[in-house]
Amino acid sequence: MKRDKVPSHPPLPLAVDSRLPEPLHAQLAEQIRWLVALGELKPGDRLPTVQELADHLRVHRNTVAAVYAALQEEGYLVSRRGAGTFVADSETTRAAVHRAALRDVVDRALARAVEMGFTPAEFAEAAAARARMHEAQQGQRRLLFVECNVPEIEQHSRTLAQELGVAVEGVHLDDVRRDPAAFRRRAAAAGGVVTTFFHFEEVQRAVGRAVQVVGVGAGLQIQFLRALAQLPAGTRVAICCLDRERAARVRNLVVNAGVRHVSMAAVGVDEPERFRKALGEAEEVYVSTAAYPVARRLVGERVRLRPYQMELDRASLETLRARLLETAGQRQARRRQA
């Protein structure tokens, strides 16, 4: 009768880190899979008991028990009553060996990252995040970004694509209003719908409860605020947008940012006469990139217009990034269970 092997090597090189985005159980399970793939754990090798490994890793024993149970279902491990938990001699473990080819790739990348001053933990976090972003792209799960004007659709779509590493398709709010049913179909097939907080409620109503919309904040560029802050006290400034409501919102953002020493009039290009009057009284004119083409047509080249634009705030981008990572992880888990 074949006797169970009891490993004589030192404790397994396993470690988990609560600071990483991956849950502890996912970190541990993946490391055990790697040890099997690399041949450091062979069929018949006995693993530490649940309590022994929990004590070694300083985690709750339920975490280790859940990992062992999951790996048994996947075919990596087998439990023998009264004897312990062993590496299985199965199709799963035999097929896992081909993953060993990745070891050299990972080792070279890790060595390079360490040379550049990054820690192994930072490398692991970055690699996991990039892998999930790549997975999202390969799965053709694009984001839809909805806004009410073409310049900001193009600008914010580029920002989202560059920051998140996913495909982004811009959608004009007028198209959503014109055919909500068609937009709902597009939204259902996409990886998510994003819009600014200003349009959040309208877009969420358009897609219904089946699709979740993520709102992102848009703030003023620091260059715009700095330019206003450097103006002499009492300078008459016209803040121009597509309409007066948006212009008033921008003016409030400027005031809330601490710029209160200039006199600001809020005006929209949708009111041509009022717009021209405000420009005639202003010493400095700032026009949003969305309204700039219309403003230029209204006043020609005789008035100096200073364009400004909104930019997506960093906190919103990080929140959206976390949601994409969570969604990618859920899809990966479903595939493993299939």
Strand ranges inside the chain, DSSP E: 77-80, 84-87, 143-147, 168-172, 192-196, 213-216, 218-220, 236-241, 263-268, 284-288, 306-308, 310-312
**Bigger pLDDT: 70 vs 7:** 70
Q: Is the domain of 171 the same as that of 298?
A: no
Inform me whether the pLDDT recorded for 4 exceeds 50.
no
- Within 10 angstroms of residue 166's Cβ, the number of other Cβ atoms is 22
Q: pLDDT value at position 8?
A: 40
* Model pLDDT for residues 199-214, shown as the tens digit of each residue: 999 999 999 888 889 9
Q: Is the domain of 193 the same as that of 320?
A: yes
Task: Give how many domains the chain has, as a whole number.
Answer: 3
Within its chain, how far is the Cα of 97 from the centroid? 33
Q: Is residue 80 part of a domain?
A: yes
Q: Is the domain of 162 the same as that of 236?
A: no
Q: pLDDT value at position 50?
A: 92
The structure's pTM equals 0.54
Q: Is the domain of 200 the same as that of 319?
A: yes
Inform me whether the pLDDT recorded for 137 exceeds 60.
no
The residues near 279 (Cβ < 8 Å, ≥ 6 apart) are 238, 240, 267, 285, 299, 303
Q: Is the domain of 210 the same as that of 228?
A: no
Q: Is residue 131 part of a domain?
A: no
Residue 46's domain spans which residues?
1-113
CATH of the domain at 195: 3.40.50
Q: Is the domain of 253 the same as that of 333?
A: no
Q: Is the domain of 204 the same as that of 264?
A: no
Q: Is the domain of 156 the same as that of 8?
A: no
CA distance linking residue 156 with residue 220, whole number of Å: 13
Q: pLDDT value at position 325?
A: 72
Q: pLDDT value at position 333?
A: 55
